Amino acid sequence: MRRLAVRTARAWELGCFGPCLARVIAPNGLTPMPAEKMPIAPEFPAKPEGATGVLVLDDGSVFWGHGVGADTAKTGEVCFNTSMTGYQEILTDPSYAGQIVSFTFPHIGNVGANMEDVEATTAATRGCVLGADITEPSNFRAASHFDGWLKANELPGVAGVDTRRLTRRVREKGAPNGVVCHAPDGKFDLPALWQQAVEWPGLEGMDLAIKVSCTQPYEWDQTRWTLEDGYGRLGPAKFRVVAIDFGVKRNILRCLATLGCAVTVLPATATAEEVLAKGPDGVFLSNGPGDPAATGDYAVPMIKGLLEAGVPVFGICLGHQMLALALGAKTAKMHLGHRGANHPIKDLTTGKVEITSQNHGFMVDKDSLPDGVEATHFSLFDGTLAGLRVTDKPVFSVQYHPEASPGPQDSHYLFQRFVDMMRSHGSDR
């Protein structure tokens, strides 16, 4: 498979991706772009012998390989993740909705798949790109082969890709739109795939939280996994938390339950009145996908109502961005985003540095924070804002994922901070 990547890279060097006359192919399920607005179509390279998978980008770049997973094609924003473990958690994280994930670590699938390491019932990602073929699973917890798991979740993928080259492309030019396609017969309509990538609207301005959120309220009492007992159950509850589901990861809910929180999960469209009617000791604003400005149309009024009520609030990822918008700050699309499990963050309140897991393509503009809101965390990679708090209210949030364990547990203190805040607020009342 590496030879496929080398041959494709050679085709690029020889100019086989040069421009030609524009052509318009109407893709399935998409509104065709007017011919006069279509970019000039590239001249596509010949398919290498044996290729059954391909990734086609909206700039005409083509990455050949061996198809894995479901026999289908899906369109999304192409990003890369630098994590060495946790591929099942990544592909089932609702925050990846609308995205094709390229893994920079080569050994993906080597521990197989199981039913415990998932963050949602269905995978919201669009597909995956791998540097090496999927190997046979070697782990005592493996219940199935990773390729079979991809098929079961209707996720297409392509393996044997030069992921270093793809990563450089994303880093230098930003996250492109792309189509990942697996065709066991090796037949590909590259012009049609390219046009699907070109016509996909992109994540900016897209409300995806509404697509991955629950539609009905539910209760959560499962606690964190241990080697001895697996997942546990909440005993006598100390606090009642309402979690707003913008695409919540299950392990976040487990972390809350482990600290004695009985959690009620409400849909993303819940109003402040509906939240407060549950009598919460605190409210959690979850992670999720898409553009916070789009989701904010219905979520910001709800959050403003919570702020006026004075209830403790803790936000993660999209919840952090939504809280910032409700406080009067601004958000923006990032050049390529942060996705990985090796991101150093400095907590300004303690001076400590923690190694974090991150997955976001939007950020809060640190220069837009209003009076009464202060920055608490910053990325040591690029200086972007990673946390904030309201100075006169029990309200705080972080951009990263403290429920993950890359440090391995550097950031779990944030859940305890939330619990302490609820305890203090309750005694004040």
DSSP string, 42-109: B-PPPPPTT--EEEEETTS-EEEEEEEESSSEEEEEEEEE--SS-HHHHHH-GGGTTEEEEESSS--S
Residue 267's alpha-carbon distances to 215, 245, 317, 347, 372, in angstroms, are 6, 5, 17, 31, 29
Q: Are 260 and 253 in contact (CB under 8 A)?
A: no
Structure tokens at 390: 């309201």
Instruction: Give the per-residue pLDDT at 32.
Output: 53
Instruction: Name the β-bridge partners of 127.
Output: 100
Instruction: Give the per-residue pLDDT at 143.
Output: 97
Backbone angles phi, psi at 388, to 5 degrees: -150, 165
Instruction: Give the per-residue pLDDT at 427.
Output: 54
Phi-psi region of 140 (alpha: psi -120 to 50; beta: other; left: phi over 0): alpha
Right CATH number for 209-428 from 3.10.350.10, 3.40.1280.10, 3.40.50.880, 2.60.120.20?
Answer: 3.40.50.880
Domain boundaries, the chain: 2-199, 209-428
Phi-psi region of 53 (alpha: psi -120 to 50; beta: other; left: phi over 0): beta
HSE value, Cβ hemisphere, 13 Å, CA-based, for 355 = 9
User: Could you give the angle at the alpha carbon of 309 between the alpha carbons of 248 and 320, nearest 5°?
Assistant: 35
DSSP string, 350-401: T--EEEEEEEEEEEE-GGGPPTTEEEEEEETTT--EEEEEETTSSEEEESSB
- Location of structure tokens 């949030």: 397
Instruction: Give the per-residue pLDDT at 38.
Output: 66
- How many Å apart are CA 278 and CA 294, to the nearest integer? 26
Instruction: Check 317, 338, 377, 412 and give the catalytic one.
Output: 317
Instruction: Give the per-residue pLDDT at 29.
Output: 41
Active site residue 317: yes
Spell out the per-residue pLDDT of the chain, length 429, in tens: 333 333 333 333 222 332 222 223 333 344 555 556 667 888 999 999 999 999 999 999 999 999 999 999 999 999 999 999 999 999 999 999 999 999 999 999 999 999 999 999 999 999 999 999 999 999 999 999 999 999 999 999 999 999 999 999 999 999 999 999 999 999 999 999 999 999 999 999 999 999 999 999 999 999 999 999 999 999 999 999 999 999 999 999 999 999 999 999 999 999 999 999 999 999 999 999 999 999 999 999 999 999 999 999 999 999 999 999 999 999 999 998 999 999 999 999 999 999 999 999 999 999 999 999 999 999 999 999 999 999 999 999 999 999 988 878 899 999 999 999 999 998 554
Instruction: Give the per-residue pLDDT at 225.
Output: 93
Instruction: Check 320, 343, 403, 412 and give the catalytic one.
Output: 403
Q: With CA atoms as reference, report the closest residue to 363 among 339, 395, 330, 341.
A: 330
**Residues whose CB is less than 8 angstroms from the CB of residue 154 and which lie 6 or more positions away in sequence, other chains included:** 70, 72, 123
pLDDT digits (tens, 9 = 90+) for 20-76: 222 233 333 445 555 566 678 889 999 999 999 999 999 999 999 999 999 999 999
Q: Are 157 and 150 in contact (CB under 8 A)?
A: yes
- How many Å apart are CA 313 and CA 322, to the nearest integer? 12
Q: Are 31 and 188 in contact (CB under 8 A)?
A: no
Instruction: Give the per-residue pLDDT at 35.
Output: 55
Q: Residue 276 is inside which H or E element, if any? A: helix 272-276
Active site residue 79: no
Backbone angles phi, psi at 325, to 5 degrees: -65, -40
User: Could you give the angle at the alpha carbon of 250 between the alpha carbons of 247 and 254, nearest 5°?
Assistant: 135
User: Could you give the angle at the alpha carbon of 320 between the alpha carbons of 168 and 221, nearest 5°?
Assistant: 110
For domain 2-199, give the fold: Glucose Oxidase; domain 1 (3.50.30)
DSSP string, 316-355: ETHHHHHHHHHHT--EEEEEEEEEEEEEEEEETTT--EEE
Q: Are 339 and 297 in contact (CB under 8 A)?
A: no
Active site residue 273: no
Backbone angles phi, psi at 103, to 5 degrees: -90, 125
Instruction: Give the per-residue pLDDT at 33.
Output: 56
Instruction: Check 182, 360, 401, 412 and give the catalytic one.
Output: 401
Instruction: Give the per-residue pLDDT at 78.
Output: 98
3-state helix, strand, coil in the chain (%, to 5): 25, 30, 45
Maximum Cα–Cα distance across the chain: 72
Q: Are 326 and 303 in contact (CB under 8 A)?
A: yes
- Residue 140 CB coordination number (10 Å): 7
Torsion of CA 41, 42, 43, 47, to 10 degrees: -110
Backbone angles phi, psi at 152, to 5 degrees: -60, -30
Beta strands in 188-318 (DSSP E): 218-220, 239-245, 261-267, 282-285, 313-316
Structure tokens at 303: 């959050």
Instruction: Give the per-residue pLDDT at 418.
Output: 98
Instruction: Name the β-bridge partners of 343.
Output: 356
